[in-house]
Amino acid sequence: MTDRELLSLAKKASMNAYVPYSRFPVGAALECEDGTVFTGCNVENAALGSTICAERTACCKAVSEGHRSFKRVAIFADSENWPTPCGACRQFLHEFSPDMEILCSKAGDRYVSYKLSALMPHAFDY
């Protein structure tokens, strides 16, 4: 799968976002080592701290289906800034694949990519 195909799955996933509070839909498409893709969106809650981000939704879907090794995650949000994953999502993904690639896209054709290890150096572990 190309980067752009994965990004387009992330954009499609953002359409299912449940975002009555922030009105900020995010979508993610997580590609596993074996090529399986799990998508996710952000799911908000009236108890705001219970909100789950798109990346963690996708990651929990994957892990709960027996996948623990990831190659890439594509993230889409129609935002002004590149939608890089929040700190909690970085830590969460790092648990499984510290060297995975992170693709970020917003409206328009361009996207940026990072190694998770560059976005999350010295992640917590024990």
| Catalytically annotated residue among 31, 44, 55, 101 | 55
Q: How far is the CB of 42 from ligand THU (least distance, A)?
A: 3
Among 7, 13, 30, 54, the residue binding ligand THU under the rule CB under 6 A is 54
Q: How far is the CB of 76 from ligand THU (least distance, A)?
A: 10
User: Is 55 one of the catalytic residues?
Assistant: yes
Asked whether position 45 contacts ligand THU by CB under 6 A, the answer is no
Sign, CA torsion 33/117/59/73: negative
Sign, CA torsion 18/5/109/75: positive
User: H/E element holding 104?
Assistant: strand 101-105
Q: Which stretch binds ligand THU (CB under 6 A): 3-11, 51-59, 61-69, 107-115?
A: 51-59
Q: Which stretch binds ligand THU (CB under 6 A): 3-11, 60-68, 82-90, 116-124?
A: 82-90
Asked whether position 91 contacts ligand THU by CB under 6 A, the answer is no
Asked whether position 24 contacts ligand THU by CB under 6 A, the answer is yes
Beta strands in 14-96 (DSSP E): 27-32, 37-41, 70-76
Torsion of CA 121, 9, 5, 72, to 10 degrees: 20
d(CA 16, CA 122): 33
Of 76, 73, 126, give the one whose Cα is nearest residue 106. Answer: 76
Catalytic residues: 55
Q: Which residues bind ligand THU (CB under 6 A)?
A: 19, 22, 24, 26, 42, 44, 51, 53-55, 85-86, 89
